[in-house]
Amino acid sequence: MITEADKKELERLKKAYPLFTFCLDDNNYLTVVIGKGSKYCTIIKDGHIDKVSTLYIDKDHMEASISRDLMLIYPDLYIHAYSNKTGLATYVWVQRNNRDHESIGAVSITDSDFHKKLSNWQVESKKAKQDSWFFCTGHQKAEPIGDYGFFHFAGKYCKGWGDEHPEAREAASRETYN
């Protein structure tokens, strides 16, 4: 049964974490919707959620806020910020649509050239989004589609990269999607 204290906690969470959606059912199960297809559940009891859930919500909301803010600066990039053992890092893709992204790579937010890398990737991603172009994950630049060589782990690679790194092309050829 939902108490007034539980309702107040739900409202507090909604205000504190505006990027997330919160749903509380009659059994006090709280569903926290973080993003597309990403959610988890916890229980509100006596107007509180457990500390571990609070820590996860804090961390996930911080990551989502940073990702959103960076994508406002770099609109042709899809950026996912995440916590790792060394701090905060980002993984970056070419922003195409909700289903098709080309992997660019990862960069730590603490790297001295963080914004320089994102700026360069932004310029190249804008080119890669044009008709008949793609982003070569290996060379980190836009290439004409005629130079496309292979696909491997969400990255697209040009023929030149395959010639320079035959082990990468061989690994991709072992995958079922090539």
| Residues 161-167: contacts with CB under 8 Å, at least 24 apart | 161/136, 164/138, 165/138
Contacts of 68 (CB under 8 A, 6+ apart): 19
pLDDT in tens, 101-149: 788 999 999 889 999 999 999 999 999 999 999 999 999 999 999 999 9
Interatomic CA distance for residues 143 and 134, integer angstroms: 6
Distance between CA 62 and CA 80 in Å, rounded?
11
| pLDDT confidence band for 158 (50 / 70 / 90) | very high
Closest to 13 (Cα-Cα) out of 63, 47, 64: 47
Percent over 70 (pLDDT), the chain:
94
Alpha helices per DSSP H over the chain: 4-16, 51-73, 114-128, 159-164, 166-173
Query: What is the identity of the amino acid at 22?
Result: F
Q: What is the pLDDT of residues 18-40, one digit of tens each?
A: 989 898 888 888 888 877 667 77
Given a cut of 90, whether residue 86 has pLDDT beyond it is no
Residue pair 31/41 in contact by the 8 Å Cβ criterion: yes
How is residue 125 written in tokens? 């991603």
Percent of the chain with pLDDT over 90: 53
pLDDT of residue 98: 62
What is the pTM assigned to this prediction? 0.81
Q: What is the pLDDT of residues 37-57, one digit of tens each?
A: 677 788 888 888 888 888 889
Pick 153 or 137 by higher pLDDT. Answer: 137
